[in-house]
Amino acid sequence: MPGWSGTITESPTGATLVANPADGVWTEQDRWWLEDTLWIGAIHGQGPTVFGRITDLEVDSLGRMYVFDGQAHQLRVFGPSGDFISEFGRRGSGPGEFQGVAGMSESVRQDLWIVDGPNVRYTVLNDSAYEMHRRVSPLYRLPWLGGHAEGFLHDAVVLPGEGVAEVLVRVDSAGAVRDTFEIPEPELAIPHAGSMQFPLPYAATVVRAFDRRGYVWIASSHEYRLIQMRLGGDTARVITREVEAPPLTQAEADSVERYARKLVDRFSSFGLQLGDEMIPETAPLLDRIAVADDGSVWVTRAGTGRNTVFDVFDSVGRFLGEVRLDFPLYSIEIRNGSLYGVALGAFDVPRVFRAKIVRGQGVAGDAAYHPAAACARYARSARSGVPGRRATA
């Protein structure tokens, strides 16, 4: 790739090792940008575009958006143009009811699988009916890790019992578990007393993502090292970048010390284990990982305040550059050449956001993502409740 100064080697085990410099290769002429094409949601009023708390967003192969409102315990479906299609569900334990949706995934048959932990089941929707299958455990971690690959649903399940054991179960179209996989993770030193854990502020966490091509991506929030694992547990690729986690400010370090003192005061008699190696000295570097259907990897940076900053890598693992938004975005899906997510705007009201990924062939100009213009469109469509479409800035 012209301008890329990293290296690609192979480990003794056959994994591809991609080492990136700190800087990407994009210039002003060939960088990618986001052209916002749709907003769904209203700040006030009634109707299906008023969301209480969006807990998951799934986009199918036809561009339909499935939005689960965790406050209403209801699924709402919108077409590619933002038009409301249907709604399904309410709170409860009966058929067609939900208690706590961990995630959703589209199958190869274009069914929508809804993972409901407290109800210990999967609800499977198609165009004309729904069916239910039992889940092996009510327990899960957030954000949920799972999705469809190789014709099966893969669901990260926490098994009850002594200790916390999490496995990835492979579920067929009839709801039967066909296989289980261990989920390898970086070992993190966390203060604990017996089975109770007490993560410190700014301490390292595990960042994970499911890849529809049949992989799991894993990283530590404090190290720029992305590990692509095959479902069987083998390492397929390791992507690194020469960026260090920033040191904590004095105010941040003081807050960690205060919290640690409280833990010692309250839990020393319970056998609290809190060593110096557990005290963070740097702030998180990585927040989330999302993998596009073309294999490009979008890493959300931590510590960006009310903005969202993506580090974009191509399908090989070479760092290209940054893409920025001036609002928080979560539940990110990248399909069919567009980026989808849940945006938080005024008063943290959630709204569905969609933007076309434009792979630059010339200066962005008026077609680029303009923060001020996007915010204006956000505000106009939020007041009206009508899905917003991009207008020339």
This prediction's pTM: 0.91
* Predicted pLDDT of residue 374: 54
What does the pLDDT read at residue 364?
38
3-class secondary-structure state, position 297:
strand
Give the whole-number percent of the chain exceeding pLDDT 90: 80
Under 8 Å between Cβ of 228 and 217: yes
pLDDT band at 382 (very low <50, low <70, confident <90, very high): low
The pLDDT of residue 164:
60
Element (H, E) at 379: helix 371-384
Selected residue with higher pLDDT from 77 and 346: 77
pLDDT for the residue 64: 97
CA distance 224 to 212: 22
Band of pLDDT at residue 127, cut at 50, 70 and 90: confident
Lowest mean pLDDT among 14-28, 110-124, 357-371: 357-371
**Containing structural domain, residue 202:** 9-384
With 90 as the cut, is the pLDDT of residue 44 above it?
no
- Residue 20 covered by a domain: yes
Q: For residues 64 and 254, what is the distance between their CA atoms, to the nearest angstrom?
A: 47
pLDDT, greater one: 197 or 127: 197
Would you say residue 390 lies in a domain?
Answer: no
Residue 50 lies in a domain: yes
Task: Pick the range with the lowest mean pLDDT from 29-33, 50-54, 86-90, 124-128.
Answer: 124-128
Q: What integer is the mean pLDDT of 80-107?
A: 96
With vertex at residue 239, the alpha carbon angle to CA 237 and CA 243, rounded to the nearest 5 degrees, is 165
- What is the predicted pLDDT for the residue at 390? 39
pLDDT at position 232: 84
Q: Is residue 127 helix, strand or coil?
A: coil
Residue 367 confidence class, pLDDT cut points 50, 70, 90: very low
Least confident of 56-60, 230-234, 298-302, 328-332: 230-234
Integer angstrom CA distances of residue 36 from 33, 41, 49, 191, 341 = 10, 15, 18, 43, 11
* pLDDT tens-digit readout, 52-71: 999 999 999 999 999 999 99
- Does residue 379 surpass a pLDDT of 60? no
4 in a structural domain: no
Model confidence pLDDT, tens digit, residues 221-240: 999 999 999 998 899 999 99
Let me know if residue 391 belongs to a domain. no
CA-closest candidate to residue 373, choices 43, 13, 39: 39
**Percentage of the chain lying above the pLDDT 70 cut:** 91
Can you give the pLDDT at residue 162?
54
DSSP letter string, 227-281:
EEEETTS-EEEEEEES-PPPBPPHHHHHHHHHHHHHHHHHHGGGT-B--GGGS--
Q: Is residue 228 part of a domain?
A: yes
The mean pLDDT of 301-325, rounded to a whole number, is 96
Mean pLDDT for the chain overall = 90
Task: Please state the domain count of the chain.
Answer: 1
Q: Which CATH number goes with the domain that contains 343?
A: 2.120.10.30
Tell me whether residue 163 is in a domain: yes
Q: Model confidence at 137, in pLDDT bands (50, 70, 90)?
A: very high
Give a yes or no: residue 3 inside a domain.
Answer: no
Q: Which residue has the tokens 């590619």?
A: 80
Residue 184 has pLDDT above 60, yes or no: yes
Q: For residue 131, what pLDDT is reported?
A: 95
Which range scores top for mean pLDDT: 191-205, 280-294, 346-360? 280-294
The tokens describing 312, both together, are: 């974009």
